[in-house]
Amino acid sequence: MPVAIVTLKSTEHQQDLIIQRPTSGLSLQGRLRVPGDKSISHRALMLGALAQGETEIQGLLIGEDPRSTAACFRALGAEISELNTEYVRVQGIGLGQLQEPADVLNAGNSGTTLRLMLGILASHPGRFFTVTGDSSLRSRPMSRVVKPLQQMLAQIWGRQGGTLAPLAIQGQQLQPIKYHSPIASAQVKSCILLAGLMAEGKTTVTEPALSRDHSERMLQGFGASLSIDPETHSVTILGPAQLQGQSVIVPGDISSAAFWLVAGAVVPGSEICIENVGVNPTRTGILEALSMMGADITLENQRVVAGEPVADLRVRCRGGGTLPLQACEIAGDVIPRLIDEIPILAVAAIFAKGTTVIRDAAELRVKESDRIAVIASELNRLGAKVTELPDGLEISGGTTLTGTDVDSHTDHRIAMSLAIAALNATGTTTIHRAEAAAISYPDFFQSLIGVAMGNE
């Protein structure tokens, strides 16, 4: 069977991923597991640190982002064992008991670490904290969490009126609020709920559309008292709360599975089964979008593991010369449920008949990179026809991709999306700064080699 040749070229500072597609007959085959869910991994480490007693975590994502969370909470006094996927033990120190660290807390590339941690730090009276991140994170907007925290009487300072990291926080006894978030953001919602853990009374967050609900599920699992109104997308937490250490099992990340779902849906003759993937309904927009596009995806072995729905996902692509997918329009309330998957959906749309339009996704401009600008420019280098919209993308299906040099812009999801596009590009594609994949998927290259050789 023809296989794609996948090589990594490493220098001291960066890795280039080189993908050479065979002239004909490539198909992807195999079973694989994706790493643990990034959102759930962060939350398990944070709640474990804030709880009384021990938390055990199985299936933690050992990527750069959770490493940043673990490093920050170790500096704040939590005992966290060496990170591995089998078993991580967190010895919690109890709500309100975080220590004042001797140095700046560094969230690296991770928006979730910084934004969720701000709610926790701001609510620790009498302690002073400073937080920063890498150059991407230092340019991302923090006002979305700083403003509501200030309404709770938090004291936060930073560049540009306290809206950009590095930030300094003088912990306070916070007041509960009712906050109407202008954006559907799980990071905003979670930051306020975490701040509300220590405020006396009811803190409510309402969002315009439902964002991922892992915080709500896990806070309840750890013993916090929450009430949820699904009609108005409101969550209320009652403080002060007490959290008790738990056993958390982290399912595979559907955002990582998305790369194989699209690869399996667009490379003719492919069949891939991705085992043990979290299918929380607030995350399954990618399955809805790909089904709308006519992809053949089935959910097998559906079950609930530690409060989160899980399934094995099987994707197939018939052989044949025509385009495997249909174009579609993706907009509105589904956007927060597939926000991280839009770069790889743009790749899928290249192999769809017609023009795919993605709207209401202006948030993509303030992710790890400006994902609207970056995915459009890099896919166009390969020969795609992608047009930027202020809040999304327009992708004309049916163009032929030709291998060339492209760049991840140090964004993990861009690096992996380009690798999948390269599987359907003629000749050789070189993805510069591909090491970014390790933020959420350290074994991505090995899995890519595995499915490209049909033996994962």
Q: Closest separation between CB of residue 168 and ligand S3P, Å?
A: 22
Q: Judged by CB under 6 A, which of 187, 256, 417, 447 binds ligand S3P?
A: 187
Q: Is 16 a catalytic residue?
A: no
- Site string (92-131) toward ligand S3P, x via CB under 6 A: --------------------x-------------------
41 belongs to the binding site for ligand S3P (CB under 6 A): no
User: Alpha-carbon torsion 398, 403, 407, 413, what sign?
Assistant: positive
Q: Can you say how many angstroms the Cα of residue 198 is from the centroid of all Cα atoms in its chain? A: 27
Catalytic position from the list 340, 370, 391, 411 = 340
Q: Which residues contact 446 (CB under 8 A, 6 or more apart)?
A: none
With CB under 6 A as the rule, give the number of residues binding ligand S3P: 11
Find out whether the peptide bond into 166 is cis, omega within 30 degrees of 0: yes
Binding status of residue 339 toward ligand S3P by CB under 6 A? yes
Q: For residues 87 and 403, what is the distance between their CA atoms, to the nearest angstrom?
A: 41
Least distance in angstroms from the C-beta of 3 to ligand S3P = 32
Residues 357 to 386 in contact with ligand S3P, rule: CB under 6 A: 363
Residue among 55 and 190 whose Cβ is closer to ligand S3P: 190
| Identity of the amino acid at 431 | I
Cβ-based nearer residue to ligand S3P, 43 or 433: 43
Are 357 and 385 contacting, i.e. CB atoms less than 8 angstroms apart? no
What's the min distance (Å) between Cβ of 217 and ligand S3P? 12
Contact (CB, 8 A) for 28 and 423: yes
Of the pair 30, 35, the CB lying nearest ligand S3P is at 35
Single out the residue of 29, 68, 185, 410 in contact with ligand S3P (rule: CB under 6 A): 185
| The binder of ligand S3P chosen from 28, 122, 186, 243 (CB under 6 A) | 186
Q: Does 136 bind ligand S3P (CB under 6 A)?
A: no
Closest CA to 412 of 384, 363, 375, 380: 375
Nearer to ligand S3P, 282 or 326 (CB): 282
Q: Which stretch in 23-31, 185-193, 269-277, 425-433 sits in contact with ligand S3P by CB under 6 A?
A: 185-193
Quick check: 417 binds ligand S3P (CB under 6 A)? no
**Does residue number 340 form part of the binding site for ligand S3P (CB under 6 A)?**
yes
Asked whether position 407 contacts ligand S3P by CB under 6 A, the answer is no
Residue 186 or 416 having the CB closest to ligand S3P: 186
Give least dist CB 140 to ligand S3P, A: 9
Binding mask 192-221 for ligand S3P (x = CB under 6 A): -------------------xx---------
Q: Could you give the residue numbers annotated as active site? A: 340
Q: Which residues bind ligand S3P (CB under 6 A)?
A: 39, 112, 185-187, 190, 211-212, 339-340, 363
